[in-house]
A and B are shown apart, each in its own frame.
Chain A
Amino acid sequence: MSVPHALLALLSEGPTFGLRLRQEFEARTGEVWPLNVGQVYTTLQRLERDGLVESDEEGADGSQKRYRITAAGATELATWLHTPPDTALPPRDELIIKVLVSLRLPGVDLHEVLQVHRRHFVEAMQHCTQIKARATDDDLELALVADAELFRLDAVVRWLDAADSRLKRRPVRKPDEVAVSSPRSARKATVWG
């Protein structure tokens, strides 16, 4: 999560104080990610160092400094808003690694491993749906965060389902039946460009 860019976004609406930024950040993100005051001021100091924000030098009390976005900050914000996150390489996902290393482990029922995780993720989805179901119509932020979390969890469940059906169609090889595969670098180049 990019706190610096979120703060730049809030400052693009007009100059404000650090404490106010913290309240706004939490309100705008459905109060899902609490932010401590220290983190807000550290981030603002870094943004100021990088010339992306500037502050009222008159404020004697640090907490009462008013911050405003600079032209460079506005450019940085626009670039961030229009740049999708990096998807070039798959994240090192613990679940995927767990399933891959289980493939040839003796005595491991992989369908059971997949099911334990499926149940866990569906329970987490029930939890999110319950929150979304109770959210009031005007709580747009919370609904959006709940949706994002539901789609993320749903993707994991779909992957578990796909893995289950792939394994059903093609039983797992035993350790002594390791297939001859293309060199690692070649595979990586093919899949991830």
Chain B
Amino acid sequence: MTGVIELRGVSKVYGSGAAEVHALRDIDLTVGTGELVAVMGPSGSGKSTLLTIAGSLEDPSDGEVLIDGLLLSAMSRNDRARLRRRSIGYVFQDFNLLAGLTAAENVTLPLELDGIGSKAARVLGLQALVALGLDGHADRFPDELSGGERQRVAIARALVGDRHVLLADEPTGALDSANGEAVMRLLRSAAEGGVAGIIVTHDAQLASWADRVVFLRDGRIVDQTARPASAESLLVPGPSS
């Protein structure tokens, strides 16, 4: 499969000598267009490191990362920053919205940083907000929104413009189950619209929205689920039974 996100033999070591910590060991992971992959593992298994390396926020100690077929290690610092701004969206557990900016300004900020004029950016930003059911909320500040609405603004920011790589770290961790489910429905439909996504989580309910669940343990991928067969009835047993 040609991947939108591709990790080849990725390892990450922090520190050296006796203090050396192997956060990731020889990770191979490919995520294609329209695919949502959950990386599941306990705290300290390397989930967040995997996400920051996939998102080019950190370099691997060994191995290669490709986004849209482009080798990150072969790109200049500026080109990588541009790729991050244009193609990759991040969603975090605590939303990471700027408190002094409205919902629309939060969403359009990455576009404006990328040189798009503020009028054009606002049009794209409003489109992204409407797509996430936030019409009428564009000019509200984060503290005027509920937790579920804030996370939807963060998803709008992650998907605004031509962004098609979505990286999420426990995106429903701060939400109740109804809002968590609403957020996962949105991420699912983003994937169905062609976005390639990785969600890292320790939560099986969240992971179960993914096409594929990869299990991480002590920095290694130890197992993964099969892509689920089309489910017709709750009485039909799961794919591996």
- Given A115-B222, A115-B223, A131-B234, are A122 and B241 also a contact pair (CB < 8 Å)? no
Distance in Å: Cβ of A187 to nearest Cβ of chain B: 28
Instruction: Report the separation of the CA atoms of residues A105 and B205 in the bound assembly, to the nearest whole angstrom.
Output: 32
Distance in Å: Cβ of B213 to nearest Cβ of chain A: 5
- Given A119-B225, A122-B40, A124-B238, are A154 and B205 also a contact pair (CB < 8 Å)? yes
- Given A32-B234, A153-B204, are A127 and B228 also a contact pair (CB < 8 Å)? yes
- Given A115-B222, A120-B241, are A125 and B234 also a contact pair (CB < 8 Å)? no
A63 on the interface (CB 8 Å rule)? no
Pick the contact of B225 from A111, A123, A133 — CB < 8 Å?
A123
A146 on the interface (CB 8 Å rule)? yes
Q: Mark A153-169, 1 if CB is under 8 A from B, else 0.
A: 11001100100110000
A158→B238 contact, CB < 8 A: no
Instruction: Report the separation of the CA atoms of residues A6 and B44 in the bound assembly, to the nearest whole angstrom.
Output: 47
Closest-by-CB residue of A relative to B211 is: A126
Chain B count of residues within 8 A CB distance of the other chain: 33
Q: Mark B207-235, 1 if CB is under 8 A from A, else 0.
A: 11110010101000011111011111111
A145→B238 contact, CB < 8 A: no
Instruction: Report the separation of the CA atoms of residues A161 and B204 in the bound assembly, to the nearest whole angstrom.
Output: 10
Pick the contact of A122 from B188, B213, B222, B233 — CB < 8 Å?
B213
B208→A150 contact, CB < 8 A: yes
A-contacting residues, B149-197, CB 8 Å: 185, 188
Chain A count of residues within 8 A CB distance of the other chain: 35
A23 on the interface (CB 8 Å rule)? no
Distance in Å: Cβ of A176 to nearest Cβ of chain B: 29
A165→B42 contact, CB < 8 A: yes
A15 on the interface (CB 8 Å rule)? no
Instruction: Report the separation of the CA atoms of residues A164 and B215 in the bound assembly, to the nearest whole angstrom.
Output: 13
B240→A126 contact, CB < 8 A: no
B234→A146 contact, CB < 8 A: yes
Taking CB atoms, residues of chain A closer than 8 Å to B204 are 121-122, 125, 153-154, 157-158
B235→A126 contact, CB < 8 A: no
Pick the contact of B207 from A30, A122, A151 — CB < 8 Å?
A122
Instruction: Report the separation of the CA atoms of residues A122 and B205 in the bound assembly, to the nearest whole angstrom.
Output: 8
A130 on the interface (CB 8 Å rule)? yes
B231→A131 contact, CB < 8 A: yes
B-contacting residues, A56-114, CB 8 Å: 111
B42→A129 contact, CB < 8 A: no
Taking CB atoms, residues of chain B closer than 8 Å to A158 are 204
Distance in Å: Cβ of B236 to nearest Cβ of chain A: 7
Instruction: Report the separation of the CA atoms of residues A126 and B215 in the bound assembly, to the nearest whole angstrom.
Output: 14
Instruction: Report the separation of the CA atoms of residues A148 and B128 in the bound assembly, to the nearest whole angstrom.
Output: 33
B133 on the interface (CB 8 Å rule)? no
A123→B210 contact, CB < 8 A: no
Pick the contact of A126 from B210, B223, B234, B241 — CB < 8 Å?
B210
B239→A127 contact, CB < 8 A: yes
Closest-by-CB residue of B relative to A165 is: B42
B40, B205, B213, B235 pick with most chain A CB within 10 angstroms: B205
A128→B234 contact, CB < 8 A: yes
Q: A126-B225, A146-B234, A164-B42 are in contact. List 15 more A-B contacts (CB 8 A).
A: A115-B215, A115-B217, A120-B240, A121-B204, A122-B204, A122-B213, A123-B238, A123-B239, A123-B240, A126-B213, A126-B239, A127-B236, A127-B239, A131-B234, A158-B204
Residues of B that sit less than 8 Å from A by CB: 40, 42, 185, 188, 202, 204-205, 207-210, 213, 215, 217, 222-226, 228-241
Offer 27 A-B interface pairs, CB within 8 angstroms, sorted by A. Answer: A33-B235, A34-B235, A119-B224, A119-B240, A120-B241, A122-B207, A122-B213, A123-B226, A123-B238, A123-B240, A124-B237, A125-B207, A126-B225, A127-B228, A127-B229, A127-B234, A128-B231, A129-B209, A133-B188, A145-B234, A146-B234, A149-B234, A151-B205, A157-B204, A158-B204, A161-B202, A164-B42
The 8 closest A-B pairs by CB, nearest first: A124-B238, A125-B208, A157-B204, A130-B231, A129-B208, A126-B228, A123-B238, A126-B208
